[in-house]
Amino acid sequence: MSSVTKENGTKGTRMRAEDRRELILKAATQVFGDYGYFGTTTAVVARAAGVSQPYVVRVFGTKEKLFLEVLQRALDLLMHEFRAALAEESDIPLADRMGLAYVGLASNRGLLLSLMHGFVLGRDPEIGPEARKGFMCVYRFLRSEAGFDADESQRFLAGGMMINTMIGLRMTDDFDRDADVRELLHAAFPQKLDVLLALAEPPIAERNGARA
Amino acid sequence: MSSVTKENGTKGTRMRAEDRRELILKAATQVFGDYGYFGTTTAVVARAAGVSQPYVVRVFGTKEKLFLEVLQRALDLLMHEFRAALAEESDIPLADRMGLAYVGLASNRGLLLSLMHGFVLGRDPEIGPEARKGFMCVYRFLRSEAGFDADESQRFLAGGMMINTMIGLRMTDDFDRDADVRELLHAAFPQKLDVLLALAEPPIAERNGARA
DNA sequence: TAGATTGGTTATTGGTTGATTACTTAGCAC
DNA sequence: GTGCTAAGTAATCAACCAATAACCAATCTA
């Protein structure tokens, strides 16, 4: 087809490269979140973004660079939310405010999970160093800007990793089926569990692209 | 070569299928731990185990079944250690004993990380349900056998996910370079940090097999 | 409205990868 | 030793994937 009609609804009128780039980053965040770095193909990302596969590669150079940009963008959004929670006037304790901000990020599809996928690839020579840098960036924020001590910071991060794991496991899928799951999720998400349960999140693609 | 000489040292005299199978599972645990499910190829697992690639496939049927067996084996070992810590007579509080047992599992190369890679693939139609089942198995143990309440259990698991993340990130690689890393790791590993630092763990393969 | 620029596409390819098929040989029973 | 069974290997393949090359058409500008 020469007249472009994207399947994601947006008519294929031309876009400024910068906007299209952001659109691809959003799509890539979702797909990487679902299948991880190695499980994701540029073709699936392209389809999710409504562009051709070679275009994805041309805009970002390589799949690896695309993933690194996804990580960076996710971290930027995360830090933005944390700073907003820090600046906010409220009676709620800071740790709780930031916890709420963190859970809120779960509604940004794939964002926390892409980060988590990066965190478990520390062995990779390109991804590993960036992932460590990103994680430590959050830690330093907690220590110096948020005013947490080392142990508070560690516990806050542990809670975050727990949340990431619950999302990654898609534990909410068993919420109706298993009372223990309900109990665990209520403990892991003292507030805002409803937000998480509201996210049905159908798979991004029928997995016809990525490898088995 | 017709006379078999494995590169892992063990001479290639024939082995009982059961033993060879366990040997492949060990090797697969290491490789899956390093690169995750999609990032691992059966050829790399085979080389690490000192057998041919088709043999790996023939013993386990598919790569997916191999990964599921790796997860099950890891969980069995984990539960075994937890039950041992529970049975143990000691003045140390149970949670601490189990925490120590957990960190001790880090010396079993790839074991905790393979689990973590499974936990983050909850979307996969085969792996997801098994991963959730395994995670909930641990939670139920904490609740009913270890006698923890819901919140204690959740915090214990959060600590575990934090440990997994630190290992996955290979945070110890920056231990000498970054004071903040030292502080964080001391907070995350109140005891037994030395054990973690002792694990240098060279990469399992020169990554000539798995995909970029 | 000609021409340049920018935002895309189609076609293609070399290298992997999981899996299948067919073949070989070590070790045991007798 | 002879034959049977179990423990492997070598050869091969169809599918897939990231990346490259070549081309095309909107939109802006002079």
Residue A7 belongs to a domain: no
* Helical ranges in chain A per DSSP H: 17-39, 42-49, 53-60, 63-87, 94-104, 111-119, 127-140, 150-169, 179-188, 193-198
Beta bridge partners of B11: B5
Identify nearest nucleotide to residue B2 by CA to C1′ distance.
D9
Distance CA B89, CA B94 (A): 10
- Residue pair A52/A31 in contact (Cβ under 8 Å)? The answer is no
**What's the rounded mean pLDDT across residues B109-124?**
98
**What's the rounded mean pLDDT across residues A98-107?**
97
**What's the rounded mean pLDDT across residues A136-153?**
98
Percent of chain A with pLDDT over 90: 86
For residue A183, pLDDT beyond 70: yes
**pLDDT per residue over B145-156, tens digit each?**
999 999 999 999
For residue B184, pLDDT beyond 50: yes
Percent of chain B with pLDDT over 70: 91
Identify nearest nucleotide to residue B60 by CA to C1′ distance.
C19
Q: Is B89 exposed, middle or buried (0-12, 13-18, 19+ CB in 10 A)?
A: exposed
Which residues of chain B lie closer than 8 angstroms to A39, CB-CB? 36-39, 121
Residue B181 belongs to a domain: yes
Residue A20 belongs to a domain: no
Domain count, chain A: 1
Per the prediction, chain B carries an average pLDDT of 91
Residue B138 belongs to a domain: yes
Per the prediction, chain A carries an average pLDDT of 91
At B114, the pLDDT band (50, 70, 90 cuts) reads: very high
**What's the rounded mean pLDDT across residues A177-181?**
98
For residue B33, which of B168, B171, B170, B192 has the smallest C-alpha distance?
A: B168
One-letter amino acid identity for A18? E
Q: Is B3 exposed, middle or buried (0-12, 13-18, 19+ CB in 10 A)?
A: exposed
Give the tokens for residue B19.
């033993």
**Cα torsion B96, B100, B101, B102: sign:** positive
Are B64 and A212 within 8 A, CB to CB? yes
**pLDDT per residue over A43-69, tens digit each?**
999 999 999 999 999 999 999 999 999
> Domain of A112?
70-198
At A204, the pLDDT band (50, 70, 90 cuts) reads: confident
**What's the rounded mean pLDDT across residues A154-167?**
98
Q: State residue B205's pLDDT score.
A: 63
CA distance A23 to chain B (A): 23
Q: What are the φ/ψ torsions at residue A50 (nearest 5 degrees)? A: 75, 30
One-letter amino acid identity for A134? G
Residue A44 belongs to a domain: no
B7-19 b/e (C-beta count within 10 Å ≥ 16 → b): eeeeeeeeeeeee
Within chain A, what is the greatest distance between any pair of CA atoms? 59
Residue B15 belongs to a domain: no
Residue A89 belongs to a domain: yes
Q: What is the DSSP letter of B10?
A: S
Give the tokens for residue B202.
């060279």
Strand D nucleotides below 7 A of a protein CB? 6-11, 16-22, 24-27
**What's the rounded mean pLDDT across residues A184-194?**
95
Cβ-nearest to B203 among A39, A123, A169: A123
One-letter amino acid identity for A164? N
For residue A206, pLDDT beyond 60: no
Within 8 A by CB and 6+ apart from A178, the residues are B136
State whether residue A62 is helix, strand or coil.
coil
Q: How far is CA A13 from CA A23, A50, A182, in A?
A: 14, 12, 46
A173-177, B4-8, B174-178: which range is least confident on average?
B4-8
Residue A96 belongs to a domain: yes
